[in-house]
């Protein structure tokens, strides 16, 4: 993607997206033909497939890999998920996302192929499905946006996009960071999301925003620690997208007025996992909590403790005020 009309890199998503959509996207490259000559074979040792051989046993259940798996995932999403994407994408208990991110990251499916298949499906769906396809296309453009942010502003790989925020006084503790990593914060939607990440190497996009914002704005832990942990765990870990998402959530990135956006983790759980299906899947100790009461186990403290679920490590309303004060101190030049 090129530069703005003023000859500068894009730093705001909306104008970047509008400019991106005005450009014709080339179709996917054709499959290569048969080689004209056969290369000689060289003796080589077979590589082990189990990482435990190298002393790094795999703790996660990984998705199917390879070009065929990528093509199958794209075909399945276009056939079953794309036309419902806008209404279902935020609910982790539903199969509402494309699951293409590991393949886009590994190169086992290309964005040109995705856009080509998407355009054909959109034409067949007609006006009724236009919003769903548009919302999904915007998610792909976010990925491109963060790639060009990293390319044009490489300092974001180690520091805040807006340099003033490098002076933020993060006060979160190592113990709080450890509880977040392990899914033991006492906030069910956060803990379920983190346990899912640790077990599968993947996390639903809505949950990525929730847990990132919780770490930075509830626990007041430097976002770079969470960014680094995600890259250690994610099978779709993309440096540009991961960094951009973390800085968006922490309020230190390209967003024009970001710092006062602070998710309430309880409200997020109630809204996007309303019957607690996803939460119960990853927090079996709370399986006995009925309906959406699972998102506030502290209202039944004896039952929660008997089940072995931890108390909240912080109070959201108090931490929200501390976070706002932390950012506001920079306005006064402190």
Active site positions, annotated: 139, 142, 170, 205, 223, 246
Q: How many Å apart are CA 276 and CA 293, to the nearest integer?
A: 8
Q: Name 318's Cβ contacts closer than 8 Å, sequence gap at least 6.
A: none
* CB distance 136 to 118 below 8 Å: yes
For the chain, domain boundaries: 7-21+62-152, 163-331
| Per-residue pLDDT at 334 | 40
Please identify every stretch of the chain with a pLDDT value under 70, giving residue numbers as ranges: 1, 256-257, 332-334
| Token pair of 81 as six digits | 């998920």
Q: How far is the first Cα of the chain from the last one, in angstroms, to the nearest whole number?
A: 38
pTM of the model: 0.92
Class in CATH terms, 7-21+62-152: mainly alpha
Q: Name 111's Cβ contacts closer than 8 Å, sequence gap at least 6.
A: 104, 140, 143, 144
Which fold would CATH assign to domain 163-331?
DNA Cyclobutane Dipyrimidine Photolyase, subunit A; domain 3 (1.10.579)
């Amino acid at each position: 993607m090129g530069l703005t009309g003023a000859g500068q890199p894009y730093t705001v998503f909306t104008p970047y997206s509008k400019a991106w959509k005005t450009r014709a996207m080339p179709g996917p490259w054709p499959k290569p033909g048969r080689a004209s000559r056969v290369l000689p074979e060289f003796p080589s040792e077979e590589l082990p497939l189990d990482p435990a051989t190298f002393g790094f046993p795999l703790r996660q259940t990984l998705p199917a890999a390879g070009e065929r798996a990528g093509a199958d995932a794209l075909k399945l999403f276009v056939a079953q998920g794309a036309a419902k994407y806008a209404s279902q994408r935020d609910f982790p208990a539903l199969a509402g996302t494309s699951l293409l991110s590991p393949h886009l990251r590994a190169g086992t499916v290309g964005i040109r192929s995705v856009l080509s298949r998407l355009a054909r499906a959109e034409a067949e769906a007609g006006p009724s499905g236009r919003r769903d396809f548009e919302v999904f296309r915007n998610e792909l453009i976010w990925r491109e946006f963060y790639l060009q942010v990293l390319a044009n502003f490489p300092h974001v790989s180690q520091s805040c996009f807006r340099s003033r925020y490098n002076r933020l006084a993060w006060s979160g503790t190592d113990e709080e960071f450890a509880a977040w990593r392990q899914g033991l914060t006492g906030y069910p939607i956060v803990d379920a999301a983190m346990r899912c990440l640790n077990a599968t190497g993947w996390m639903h996009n809505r949950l990525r925003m929730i847990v990132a914002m919780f770490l930075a704005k509830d626990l007041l832990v430097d976002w770079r620690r969470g960014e680094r942990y995600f890259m250690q765990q994610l099978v779709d870990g993309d440096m540009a997208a991961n960094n951009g998402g973390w800085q968006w959530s922490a309020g230190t990135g390209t967003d024009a007025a970001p710092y006062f956006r602070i998710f309430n983790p309880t409200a997020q759980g109630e809204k996007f996992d309303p019957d607690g299906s996803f939460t119960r899947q990853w927090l079996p100790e709370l399986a006995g909590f009925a309906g959406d009461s699972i998102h506030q186990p502290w209202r039944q403290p004896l039952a929660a403790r008997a089940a072995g679920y931890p108390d909240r490590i912080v109070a959201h309303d108090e931490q929200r005020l501390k976070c706002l004060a932390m950012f506001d101190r920079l306005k006064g030049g402190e």
